[in-house]
Structure 1
């Protein structure tokens, strides 16, 4: 009975999040980060089969309410983080590897779906992506026009909008992959702090997170590849950097967390520090650099006093 109630409650909460996200526009990106958690929690407590039942029920409700496209899109974006992630964790794979595996699988599924859908529309995936971005840019321009802003301010907004759209066209797949990774990371984080845990999340504590030393050479190679005057090479390098740099930002946050714990900062001080890192330039870049240079400096290594 408890399992059945958990499945039903998880499905109701997930459908409520999906409904809210469909009405909030850009804000939905924030809600999407929590979309897998309700049923992933069910999967961790009552078994992966329970999560599978919950996902199937949620997809069926989405199909009944909003059509095949909505149900399929839910499965495409969230099924791996909801079903695959708990399964990987329960068989003992570390949380970081589980996140990376789920991210890769979701990206492959999304790429296959996009390719098939584009073929049915008799266009390439690139054309489909550009069409989607152009539509969003046109909507944003309409909103700006209705705001009755001064011409110079409006021109600046258009310039930022156009440059952002160009970046999205070049790095779309890297950004999508990063979004899938953030979804899995958020789900793991919530699973770690969820109440009444009857499960363990394998892997290191977050403040001890350390990426493979080989990854930095991929980062360096991608950075130098941007200098090659070949559009395809530059686009591949940009997408690669779009995925790798957030990983080093995460490692930088782990290092900051290590020192917060070492110095016994209060919870309020930590929250304030994290908010500063997220919103104050150039702190995100600095934290990412700390994550990158940790390979050489090993910031968390105990220092031997010489005096």
Structure 2
């Protein structure tokens, strides 16, 4: 009797998850402007139903959504890998949240699990295409560099009153490609963090409390990361191009880690002072769109290592 009641419920959940994933993917294809933000929510249906229905249900959602995407786009390449990595993010997040790991381990293990899976898929794909994985990636990077150059050029044409030197555009495009790995990793970590926050809210509404993702406004980066910031800041000035490239991107990632810590500091004081929603919303938007405030938040996160603004170790 129980089995007959559970089975239709699981089928309904799986179908709902597939429809939600296809809807988000469709928005990303049909409305690119909204799609810039929609991609951040693609892991959420898989994550939610992974925690609700288990591995099998969420696995079906993931595979079925990808299958629909491949059928309709007739494309089995980087786009499929891109969407697949987002769907896998939701799956692995659910795996590690369910294990009640710390927030650092949840994010780190999810990132490495998705990266590892993508590398394996790329290797298999490169073998079927008789191309090396290095060639596939270099072709993709070359296309991206051309697109970024076109984007800068089109922006200059849209605003002819702003006289921009073509050489400057090429330099800006090259710089953007150089720092792209750091920016990409930071955007991915932001997406993971956002989905953790959203699933936390959804679970709270259902009366489910997961200790490992509670009290995120008390999160603090490991103290030893400060030495990484100092070391990377020195390595940037060494006359070795490969070392500079790695150092710049690693420093961008570390600064973003301290941005998370700074946001935790800001959130902590909002909660402590019981700040109204309108004020919090306004300030968060300001932080998101104004670089000066963003750097200020990074500063809060970095100096929190020494100053301990929230007095976390004296809270007991």
Superposition deviation, residue 42 in structure 1: 0.8
Q: How many residues align?
A: 299
Task: Say if 2:271 is the partner of 1:264.
Answer: no
Corresponding position of 2:3: none
Tell me which of 227, 231, 248 is aligned to 2:241: 231
Q: Distance in 1 between matches of 2:193 and 2:312?
A: 28
Q: Distance in 2 between matches of 1:164 and 1:23?
A: 29
Q: Deviations over 1:111-141 (max 9, x none)?
A: 5656765972783734531332212422553
Corresponding position of 1:153: 162
Q: Secondary structure of the equivalent of 2:239? A: coil
Q: Deviations over 1:29-82 (max 9, x none)?
A: 31111110012111112223211111011111111111223444322x213312
Q: Distance in 2 between matches of 1:88 and 1:267?
A: 31
Unaligned runs of 5+ in 2: 1-7
TM-score (norm 1): 0.86
Corresponding position of 2:307: 297
Whether the 8 Å contact between 2:92 and 2:113 is mirrored in structure 1 is: no
Cα separation, partners in 2 of 1:160 and 1:50, compared to 1, 3 Å: farther
Q: Deviations over 1:157-198 (max 9, x none)?
A: x67754542233212222222222122111111101116436
Q: Distance in 2 between matches of 1:109 and 1:171?
A: 24
Unaligned runs of 5+ in 1: none
Q: Distance in 1 between matches of 2:136 and 2:22?
A: 32
Corresponding position of 2:83: 74
Whether the 8 Å contact between 1:174 and 1:240 is mirrored in structure 2 is: yes
Q: Secondary structure of the equivalent of 1:123? A: helix
Corresponding position of 1:187: 195
Report which stretch shifted further, 53-62 or 42-51: 42-51
Q: Which has the higher contact order (CA 8 A, sep 6+)?
A: 1
Corresponding position of 2:36: 29
Q: Secondary structure of the equivalent of 1:228? A: coil
Report which stretch shifted further, 205-214 or 105-114: 105-114
Corresponding position of 1:120: 131
Q: Distance in 1 between matches of 2:294 and 2:226?
A: 18
Superposition deviation, residue 302 in structure 1: 7.2
Tell me which of 16, 26, 30 is aligned to 1:19: 26
Tell me which of 123, 140, 143 is aligned to 1:131: 143
Superposition deviation, residue 104 in structure 1: 2.6
Cα separation, partners in 2 of 1:110 and 1:140, compared to 1, 3 Å: farther
Q: Deviations over 1:204-254 (max 9, x none)?
A: 411101111111211221111111111100000011012111111011010
Task: Say if 2:213 is the partner of 1:178.
Answer: no
Q: Distance in 1 between matches of 2:143 and 2:71?
A: 28
Task: Say if 2:148 is the partner of 1:141.
Answer: no
Cα separation, partners in 2 of 1:87 and 1:141, compared to 1, 3 Å: same
Task: Say if 2:62 is the partner of 1:55.
Answer: yes
Cα separation, partners in 2 of 1:165 and 1:201, compared to 1, 3 Å: farther
Tell me which of 96, 102, 105 is aligned to 1:97: 105
Task: Say if 2:292 is the partner of 1:282.
Answer: yes
Cα separation, partners in 2 of 1:138 and 1:297, compared to 1, 3 Å: same
Corresponding position of 1:214: 224
Q: Distance in 1 between matches of 2:62 and 2:168?
A: 39
Q: Distance in 1 between matches of 2:217 and 2:86?
A: 27
Q: Distance in 1 between matches of 2:266 and 2:174?
A: 33
